A and B are shown apart, each in its own frame.
Chain A
Amino acid sequence: MEAMLEIADVVTAYGKIEALKGVSLSAAKGRITCLLGPNGAGKTTLMMSIAGALKPRQGSIRLEGSELVGLSPARIVGNGVALVPENRLVFPQMSVRENLLAGAYQRNDSGEVTADIERMYARFPRLKERREQLAGTLSGGEQQMLAVARALMSRPRLLLMDEPSLGLAPIVVKEIFGIIAELNREGVTIFLVEQNAHLALQVAHHFYLMEQGRVTFSGNPGELAEDEVIKRAYLGTRRSAG
């Protein structure tokens, strides 16, 4: 299987504290790869490192063979990687439409951008209803959809999603995961960080478990009993302490 994203031995630190202690994993092209793990395992740090918002101290992150480490976040977006950040981070004082335009910031094909905005409205009808509304006035689920749509506006080859279910009602979470599966069917490669292991395992083709800055398990859904995955994803095994 051809890899879209290959991460090798990445170490990222905050001052002296290493949040990632040599992480290696890969995400296959056209698939949904999921990263599970307890709080503080380093999942968000890994996402930020891929997106260029944090600079790894060592290791390499390759997108279809080309190195991303050392590029600015803007250049990484230009290379075809878009991150839907944790807590969504929409621009609250800007309208829905402006948020989508911001997602297409680097594109010069204004006609296609307009067409893409219409496609987003078709996919997320609620965004269409609220297109001139300020993003800060949207509900949590709507903001999550806007964050996904904003990321898609850059036409990424690889879509990174950091905890899309965070703080959302179960019915909205289901909707979001439906969208994730649908996007993937249309050919978008997705690398997903999730706390909700049950839902993640339903959509993922492959998953990794991460604990305390290291990858501790790699497999396909079904290779490990779901309750065991959930136990380790929420609590960690504490096996790798130190």
Chain B
Amino acid sequence: MIPFIQTTLDGLMVGSSYGLLALGFALIFGVMRRLNLSYGPSIMIGAYLGTLLYIKFGPPTYVVAIVAVAGSVMAGIYVERLCFAPLGVGAGVASMVSSFAIWMQLEQASLLMLPRHSYPFPSLTGGELWSLGPFVVRPDYLIMLAAMLAMSAALTLLLYRTRFGLGLRAIVENSLAASLSGIDVERTMLKAFALASAIGGVAGFLVLSANQQVTAMLGMWATLKGLIAMMIGGLGSIPGAIVGGLALGVIEAHSQNLFGPQVRDLAAYAVLFVLLVLRPGGILGTTAVRRGMGQRGGDRWTTT
């Protein structure tokens, strides 16, 4: 029983990093109904800028964190301006393909900064372990868990208690009606995109400091994990992103424990596929989401 609980705990801890990544993804997806493949590579730009600073000058860790977040916000704005703002409604595939093109750019830019496969990254806790009775936890993952819960609470307050949040929700429901009500749709979307990138930047920083290194796989990893976690939990929903992230972490930990490390990712994809087919809205998805998706005029995904 104790190993089972320990594995679940491990999964929850890693899952909090997925949940953080999924929060940013859910925000972009919830507002734009578009798939941003460049989400991870934007995070990568920030992380690489922070790392570059770290290995060149060795500044305090909080400076690295600020640079990492600022870098991913800048990259996120770049992505939004080029891929999502100019291509009008109805061009879901076109913006997805464009965001893939930007992915290649951002990854290349990162590798031009730091060409080796991996670099050290400052740790917040020195990687120590805490014992809680028979269980072992890592404080850096507890920080991540706390950050995830705090950010989702803040995001919920932002969406339901502020004017900006009201505008965003109005755009999600009907962007024409929102603009006729005086909401500047383009600016609000850009702000949401920047905010999502900032959340991604925080997620990236915390993950890398837990790993104490940054690798060239970061971009792809962050996009895929964030996307899967968001999809498992529920499209564009904040509690869904958290539940999805934690669920993904637990699924991975247990399948690794049962079948070995090779099967870990395979199991995650298999669960995602089955879940999408059986319950397209995700665990916390509502029928409203399902109705709104892919229906006539609602979510056009082709350019024909």
Contact = CB atoms under 8 A, between A and B. Distances in A.
User: Is A in direct contact with B (CB under 8 Å) within the complex?
Assistant: yes
Interface of A: 51-53, 72-74, 77-78, 82-83, 85, 89-94, 98, 101-103, 105-106, 150-151, 154
Contact of B169 (A53, A89, A91): A91
A103 B181 contact: yes
Sorted from nearest, which 4 A-B pairs have the closest CB atoms?
Answer: A77-B182, A89-B177, A73-B179, A74-B184
A102 B166 CA distance: 7
B254 to A, nearest CB: 36
26 contacts: A52-B179, A53-B179, A73-B179, A74-B182, A74-B184, A77-B180, A78-B182, A85-B177, A89-B177, A91-B170, A91-B173, A91-B177, A93-B173, A93-B288, A94-B169, A94-B170, A98-B166, A102-B166, A102-B170, A102-B181, A103-B181, A105-B167, A106-B182, A150-B181, A151-B181, A154-B181
Contact of A53 (B163, B173, B180, B183): B180
B93 interface: no
Contacts of B114: none
A89 B163 CA distance: 20
Counting contact residues on chain B (CB < 8 A from A), the size range is 10 to 19
Nearest to B164: A105
A73 B163 CA distance: 18
A51 B166 contact: no
Given A74-B183, A78-B182, A90 B177 contact: yes
B66 interface: no
B143 interface: no
Nearest to B169: A94
B55 interface: no
B174 interface: yes
A56 to B, nearest CB: 17
Contacts of B170: 91, 94, 102, 105
A51 B166 CA distance: 21
